[in-house]
A and B are shown apart, each in its own frame.
Chain A
Amino acid sequence: MFDSERFIVELNRKKDTAWLRLYEEFYPALCAYAARLLHENAGVEDIVQECMIGLWHSSLHFNNVRALAGWLYKAVYSRALNLLRDRNNARRLLGNYTSEFIYSEEMAIELAIEESVIAKLRLVLAELSGQQRNVMNLSLEGYKVREIASILGISENTVKMQKKRAYAMIRERMGMVWGVLLATIFSDFF
């Protein structure tokens, strides 16, 4: 299971392994997020790298992953906002009064939540192995159990079993077993 406290400590200490993990988890999400805000994907990697470089050179320390995520998404949003404002200004100067749609901060946070959900899905799928990952990927592409069985050349029961195992593995990784148990234990109290 991912030790987020150790991760934050090592990230603040600018350790290589922690920073690699930072990129693995956040880089693709932040790039896709920037592309969504800007309505195009040109230059998004530069924006995200600028944020990362800025973070590296700063003496900013985070107390937890929540603060880190908040800072990162907000930094990308600020940069994207500036870019959009510059573009709109440039257009106005050229006599073009149509402006690009700029997301409000509230909307931008909702979009960031969405992107963060996808990032978690991506990470969790990457940890699955072989058959389980194949089955999950095909399932997400919309194939039914019957179709997956024929594509992979295995029985439908095997597909169902692999799916079940995959979900169990994912839940375990997310520490969800406890979560569900706790919810059922305490549900009488709420």
Chain B
Amino acid sequence: MNTWNDIYDYSDKIFRQVLEQIEEEKPVNEFSSPEILNGRLQEQLQYDSFSAYRKLKKHRRRHTVRWYGVAAGIMLFLGLTWGWLGQGPDSEDLLTETICPGNKKAVLALADGSVWYVGDTVMTITTARENICIDSNGLFFRTPKEVVQCDDDTYHFLTVPRGGEFTMTLSDGSRVWLNAESELRFPLQFASGRRKVFLTGEAYFEVEKDTEHPFIVEVNGSEIEVLGTGFNVRSYRNEGRVVTTLAEGNVCFRSADSRILLEPGEQSILNEDGVLWKQKVDIYPYIAWKDGRFVFRKQRLEDIMTTVGRWYNVEVRFKDEESKNITFSGGMMRYEGFEVFVKMIEAIGSVKCNIEGTTVCVAKNK
């Protein structure tokens, strides 16, 4: 039997065998088949050893600071503000945390209790009922043939954090784009009769047409019923309203007290007091996010910052009321750096943005 200390040498031996097998394309067992090897490789490749090591260095620095405290005091006095920190000058580690645009990342909490961090790495999660695959198109299911259709409602959660976005394909082929700070609760198989999912946050749905099985999105106590269509739902807790924008198809929005039918190009708003109404809008600013764009049409800076803050995962504070109300019209790619956004609003709006770590303070130029 092997012991822990045998691991390194024994794996050397196995590695040589595996190498021979893949060179001659004669895998002896499942482990040396190219698909398995590649899958296992990808599993390891998703971890960033370099940034993990940087984190260790930061930790070490914090803990060695105590020892150098006295010397540091003297050196600081002498104006040498960086030389004493732990292992020596390493300007990269001394930079405040940089603000990055969002990227593909989410947390998948399955009904069986397991929790998976998913991103843009290709991976496959095997559960008792089916395989959940993640690739460049996001998350989708692959059901093994032997599985019997069951009626119970086992639901999974896909949670996208601030600074994240994610796409998924439901078992009926409908696609969902999830924006930052959003969560979708969905079943692996739609139970007979209805296709129902639960949403908090913002998502764009492209629902597969199925007149016999209405698709329902439950959001904050209301229900949106669709037959086959493309629409955007925005329901963030701190915004207090549910905004549904219809691109194509047909949608029926049902709140606790009333309901409204939407045509393409129309938008329904349910506010905190339960009042539901609809209006005609230019839908593009409301759905541009799924194409990777920020598009603002005469929007107040305070509202713009709520949206932008979610994507870049920053906290925004306004120093005066005036700056909150400045309106902007414009657009940019979401993936551009935060500095691009800041330059744009500073120039157009005559404001000054002070960035400290991940907090941004906005004030009107006097």
- Indicate if the CB atoms of A29 and B8 lie closer than 8 Å: no
A128, B307: Cα distance in complex, Å: 43
CB A133 to nearest CB in B, in angstroms, measures 13
0/1 interface trace, chain B 40-59, chain A, CB 8 Å (1 if under): 11011111011011011001
Q: Write the chain A residue with the least CB distance to B10.
A: A113
A17, B5: Cα distance in complex, Å: 24
CB B8 to nearest CB in A, in angstroms, measures 4
CB B38 to nearest CB in A, in angstroms, measures 5
B111 on the interface (CB 8 Å rule)?
Answer: no
- Indicate if the CB atoms of A28 and B3 lie closer than 8 Å: no
**What residues of chain A lie closer than 8 Å to B116, measured between beta carbons?**
40-42
B274 on the interface (CB 8 Å rule)?
Answer: no
Query: Which of A41, A65, A68, A73 has the most chain B CB within a 10 Å cutoff?
Result: A41
0/1 interface trace, chain A 20-40, chain B, CB 8 Å (1 if under): 100110011101100100011
A35, B9: Cα distance in complex, Å: 23
Q: Which of A35, A42, A114, A140 contacts B31 (CB 8 A)?
A: A114
A45, B48: Cα distance in complex, Å: 10
A69, B12: Cα distance in complex, Å: 12
- Indicate if the CB atoms of A120 and B12 lie closer than 8 Å: yes
**What residues of chain A lie closer than 8 Å to B2, measured between beta carbons?**
106, 109-110, 113
A163, B25: Cα distance in complex, Å: 12
CB A59 to nearest CB in B, in angstroms, measures 15
Q: Which of A139, A163, A174, A176 contacts B34 (CB 8 A)?
A: A139
B16 on the interface (CB 8 Å rule)?
Answer: yes
**What residues of chain B lie closer than 8 Å to A49, measured between beta carbons?**
52, 55-56
- Indicate if the CB atoms of B38 and A174 lie closer than 8 Å: no
A117 on the interface (CB 8 Å rule)?
Answer: yes
B67 on the interface (CB 8 Å rule)?
Answer: no
0/1 interface trace, chain B 1-42, chain A, CB 8 Å (1 if under): 111111111111011101100110000000100110110110
B53-81 contacts to A (CB < 8 Å): 53, 55-56, 59-60, 63
- Indicate if the CB atoms of A113 and B14 lie closer than 8 Å: yes
- Indicate if the CB atoms of B41 and A122 lie closer than 8 Å: yes
B87 on the interface (CB 8 Å rule)?
Answer: yes
A116, B11: Cα distance in complex, Å: 6
A49, B3: Cα distance in complex, Å: 23
Q: Write the chain A residue with the least CB distance to B1.
A: A106
Given that A42-B115, A42-B116, A69-B7 are known contacts, is A118 also in contact with B44, CB under 8 Å in the complex? yes
CB B37 to nearest CB in A, in angstroms, measures 6
A170, B19: Cα distance in complex, Å: 9
**What residues of chain A lie closer than 8 Å to B8, measured between beta carbons?**
65-66, 68-70, 116
Given that A23-B53, A56-B60, A118-B40 are known contacts, is A28 also in contact with B45, CB under 8 Å in the complex? yes
**What residues of chain A lie closer than 8 Å to B10, measured between beta carbons?**
113
**What residues of chain B lie closer than 8 Å to A122, measured between beta carbons?**
41, 44-45
CB A174 to nearest CB in B, in angstroms, measures 7
A113, B31: Cα distance in complex, Å: 12
- Indicate if the CB atoms of B16 and A176 lie closer than 8 Å: yes
**What residues of chain A lie closer than 8 Å to B192, measured between beta carbons?**
none
- Indicate if the CB atoms of B117 and A42 lie closer than 8 Å: yes
A56-113 contacts to B (CB < 8 Å): 56-57, 65-71, 73-74, 106, 109-110, 112-113
CB A25 to nearest CB in B, in angstroms, measures 8
- Indicate if the CB atoms of A140 and B14 lie closer than 8 Å: no
**What residues of chain B lie closer than 8 Å to A66, measured between beta carbons?**
5-9
27 contacts between A and B (CB under 8 A): A27-B47, A27-B53, A28-B47, A28-B49, A29-B44, A41-B116, A42-B117, A43-B115, A45-B47, A49-B55, A65-B8, A66-B5, A68-B8, A70-B8, A73-B7, A109-B2, A109-B7, A116-B11, A118-B41, A121-B18, A122-B44, A139-B34, A142-B34, A171-B19, A174-B12, A174-B16, A176-B16
Task: Beyond the given A23-B49, A66-B6, A120-B12, please list 20 additional residue pairs across the A-B interface where CB-CB is below 8 A.
Answer: A19-B53, A20-B50, A40-B114, A42-B114, A65-B8, A66-B8, A66-B9, A67-B5, A69-B4, A70-B4, A109-B3, A118-B37, A119-B11, A121-B15, A139-B22, A140-B22, A141-B34, A142-B38, A171-B19, A174-B16
Binding site for A on B (CB under 8 A): 1-12, 14-16, 18-19, 22-23, 31, 34-35, 37-38, 40-41, 43-47, 49-50, 52-53, 55-56, 59-60, 63, 87, 107, 114-117
